Structure 1
Amino acid sequence: MCSCPFILCSRSISGDFIIKDSNISTWETTITAQNGSIYTDSSQCEILSQAMIYLSLVFTLVGMPGNAIVLWILGFNMRRNAFSVYILNLAMADFLFLSFKFVHYLLYIINISSIFIKIPIFLFVVQTLSYISGLSFLSAISVERCLSVLWPIWYRCRRPRHTSAVTCALLWAISLLLSLLHGEACFLLFNNNLFLSCETLNYISDYWSIVLFVVLCGSSLILLVRIVCGTQRIPVTRLFMIIMLTVLFFLIFGLPFGIYFLLQKWFGNLNDGNMCHLFVTVFLYCVNSSANPIIYFFIGSIRHQTFQRKSLKLFLQRAMQDTPEEEGGERACSRKAEELETL
């Protein structure tokens, strides 16, 4: 059983599950059969795992172009606002995860009949980096939107201009640091030559993920209650729909991936030698990462008559619309202040 996301689960020539022992070196690991023996029976778990691998490959082939289009349009062909900066970075995190899983599973399928496979450890760091950063950006989007609803005048008139860019850069740095200090990467890269043990650092990254999840759920719940039950009418914009759908998809399809590894680390072998749960959670996260671009373009295409290739930029622009933010400068601030005073 792979107890860490950095350990590559592979199979023998006959298709049986085997595990790579990660105590050789940073760049090369030896494949050994789990519990000292190779499985000979074809179980339902193995069939399910194989199905999850091929389905994950299908979703990566759909999600990578979708996130690449979002990156291209938001990065080079559209003027960015506070929220589109977060969407841009979230698309980058999703693209990194899907690219890693595509390479990982492709190597799994076309596994060479050799005993040794050289896999750079940084490929496994990318998996943890993409997950932590994706969760971080989702939490930041939810908190940002929550602030814009609770304190609209401060948000539109007093919010620092480059808050989104600075926040994203900080979250990337924290995610990269935690991914380098997480799991097998810490032991292989640093060999415990740190001021804290790798085991302690692993728990720090786990607690950070838990904090992000609490922030995400708390801010999303506050935002939903404020929209539904608030005394002041707040328009439900396309951007609000995107945020709610993206958070909902993450809670359904993305969260099991993180919960699995937390439980695996804290409570030991969950699967009793089976790989089903691992491959299912990875497949669900591939669905989550592939669904985000579809959500953006679907929300942007609502009430639009035609769908043409040249309209993708228009759809994304419409998806990023947040009507109160369309108003400009002091006029918007003064108008909002007058409305609040009359209430």
Structure 2
Amino acid sequence: MAMGSGRNGGNLKNAVVALLVPLPSIFFYLCFLSNCGNDTCTGLWKWCYHHPLLLVNALFFLNVNFVFWLLSHVQSSHWMIDLYWTLIPVMLVHYFASHPLAHYNELRSWIAIALTWIWSIRLTHNYLRREGWQLGVREDWRFTDMRQQYGKNWWWVSFFAVYFSQQIFLVGVCLPLYVVHSVDEALNLWDLVAIFVCVSGIVIAYFADTQLHEFVTRNNELKMSGKSMVPNLEEGLWRYSRHPNYFGEQLWWWGLVIFAWGLGEEWSLVGSMVNSLCLAYVTKLVEERMVKQEYRAEAYRQYQKTTSVWIPWFNTSVKDDEKDKNM
């Protein structure tokens, strides 16, 4: 009973911290809006008015990078950045839409905002479900590995590896949302393509993560009962891709790029390109981790030989089965 109470108390404390931590940026931005509705403002407010992208990066640097970094040393964990990866894009899209310099097609804006909310709700739900509906129980395993790798230097390396890098990725992948709120043009065919790609990405990621969650849950039950665990998930979307959840997530971000592409702002793809390259490296780390687990190593190596990495495709075993049926 006491253990459960302690866990719930820690969960509530972390929830309160997570709710309070973005308030400095929100308060500052609301003060800016109340003091500077047009270009007649002066001083700091004038700078904020004329530099929307620099302002959002300054707020991110001070409120996320610096404050989150300090909190990570107090809590000895970098758990909070994972939660806010799912929330910051929602904050950014509303920031871009509400900035005094914003000018845009209202229908396209509403579509982009609605899609971002749906994406965020889906990913936040998956994060909380994966963590057993507890906040701050653990940090990303990659951060834990880096903590061991850098040892005594981790206290300052973590600022760049965990937080400053996240600023580059998050602001970068959200650049198309800035473009959507910077160009006022009627909807076109590109918008329909973008909607289709974004929705497809959200749906694929949802089913992939749900299938993975059910697989992990079943394996945990087998482990608790003393039975052998299933080495690999090779059902559903995972039969055709080793990382369908990553594929769905990439579709989402590149769907946003299509919105900007249709508005003639191709430069905004740079964020999604960097994110895709980073995810390719993360995929490599994940797969190296898989083959280090003794109970699944051999099965996973075979899985690698027969199944596509990201893009769902028919694998070797499916083709062989079809040949056997035809014979």
> Could you say whether these structures have the same fold, taking a TM-score greater than 0.5 normalized by the shorter chain as the test?
no
Higher helix share: 2
TM-score, with length taken from structure 2: 0.31
Which has the bigger relative contact order, CA under 8 A and spacing at least 6? 1
TM-score, with length taken from structure 1: 0.30
